[in-house]
Amino acid sequence: MMPPIHVLVVDDEDVVCSNVIAFLEDEGFDVVSASSGEKALDIIASKKFDVGIMDMRLPGIDGNTLILKSHELQPDMKFLIHTGSTNYNLPRALTDIGLSENNIFQKPLIDMGVLVDAIQKLVKGNNI
């Protein structure tokens, strides 16, 4: 049996966060959440994650900064962006660490199965 995939969900909207967590847990993932980038970095410093699902608009540090700092702490961690911003543009610093437009998911997701597929592809080392 495969070990569980460890996922960190960072979102300051409680409803969004709890829905994503419940769905991923039902799919067999080990999920931890944080409501801010600062809390997420504290968690990342003490636990290994395979994938982070990051909101972009967060209190305190923003999602782009959070991804870069998380990547410094855990270079093998992969990232998905889960944003409500329709005009979000991926900055060069994130493409430099391997993210592409395919890593971006718009809220609200009608079918959260796309997150499951994306997580599994990232963990296997495939592009999304």
pTM equals: 0.96
Chain segment 60-114, per-residue pLDDT in tens: 999 999 999 999 999 999 999 999 998 999 999 999 999 999 999 999 998 999 9
DSSP string for 8-71: EEE-S-HHHHHHHHHHHHHTT-EEEEESSHHHHHHHHTTS--SEEEE-SS-SSS-HHHHHHHHH
Torsion on CA atoms 119, 120, 121, 125, rounded to nearest 10: 100
